[in-house]
Amino acid sequence: MTSDAANVAGLSETYSGTINPYSDRDELERLWQQPIRLFRLSNFLRQKSGRDAVSFVVNRNINFTNKCTGTCRFCSFKQRESYFLSSEQILSRAAEAEAQGATEICLQGGLAPEMKLEDYCGMLETIHRDHPKLHLHAFSPMEVMHMSRNSGVSIRQALQELKRSGLGSLPGTAAEILVDRVREQICPDKLKSRQWREIITAAHSLGIPTTSTMLFGHVESLEDRLEHLSILREIQSETGGFTEMVLLPFIPENNALGKSVSGADLLEKLKMHALARVALYPHITNIQASWTKLGRDAAAAAGTARGWRRSWQAAAPRRARWRRRTAPRGC
């Protein structure tokens, strides 16, 4: 037996229990520097968790407005020419999605200054009334904070009203990197890491599941990414409310941050998906690859060791919902 084969075979004993020795940060940093070892370990954990089973959700994103008071430097959505969808336009998009086989609507938008809790609840109620079978995955923690402030209610009260109006789950977006020093550079007016955590755990306590996300490949360091993963792991061990982990590579086009940051290359994107699977195991075992950001081939590669090997070799010259859910929402 070769040394590589022996190492992989030995993993079955290492992971016979529920304790993950690879959650140690020093070891994760070493794995990051050893891509082949990282990919093999991640693929072993993927097989241990779900073998080769892959599932997806057919959904539609409805971004109801790009009007926003935010100042996120990575944003390519907010534009000078703003729009706001009417109830009829939202319903039309939901009807079209359901007719084409969608089972979920992802509903998010900018932080329009005039919007209050009743406006957000109204959108949910409008869709739920006409399309009761559609799962409503809606509103980021930042939007929840925005609506609660504008309406003078607590975060918990806002979440309770949203749930009563038909909310099925909450996107774990607005997380970016859960290190305030980084957030000050890329989204200074957004909620702090502590506030994101408080809103997410409040949702979980009310029986509202959420996704977890990470925006990577900009100004953050590997240490920042590991801190982010550690926070997600802690939350999941406490609440069990995360349905999956969604890794979102920074897209440098059409935003202020992209003028000084080029984003991650293919190898780094694949390594980050692998590292997240290892660091979060066994608490979060559903790792979602966003093909809208990675491209179809790279997204497929992010799920298997064979795909990683092909994509890594291709990248080398350039270097000298849940519900188990792998389909991207893009939000």
Mean pLDDT by 10 residues, the chain (331 residues): 46 50 87 96 90 83 96 89 95 98 97 97 98 98 98 98 98 98 98 98 98 98 98 98 97 94 96 97 93 86 52 33 33 31
Q: Please name the residue that has the structure tokens 């060791």.
A: 305
- Where b means 16+ CB within 10 Å and e means fewer, 53-91 reads eeeebebbbbbbbbbbebebbbbebbeeeeeebeeeebb
* pLDDT for the residue 21: 64
pLDDT at 300: 83
pLDDT of residue 308: 41
The pLDDT, as a whole number, for residue 141 is 98
Q: What is the pLDDT of residue 147?
A: 98
Write down the pTM of the prediction.
Answer: 0.87
The domains found in the chain, sorted by start residue, are 3-319 (3.20.20.70)
How far apart CA 287 and CA 245 sit, in angstroms, is 5
The answer to whether the CB of 10 falls within 8 A of the CB of 2 is no
Phi-psi region of 138 (alpha: psi -120 to 50; beta: other; left: phi over 0): beta
CA distance 227 to 225: 5
Q: What is the separation of C-alpha 145 from the centre of its chain, rounded to a whole number of angstroms?
A: 18
The reported pLDDT for the residue numbered 303 is: 64
d(CA 71, CA 260) in angstroms, rounded, equals: 17
For the chain, what is the radius of gyration of the CA atoms? 20
pLDDT at 258: 95
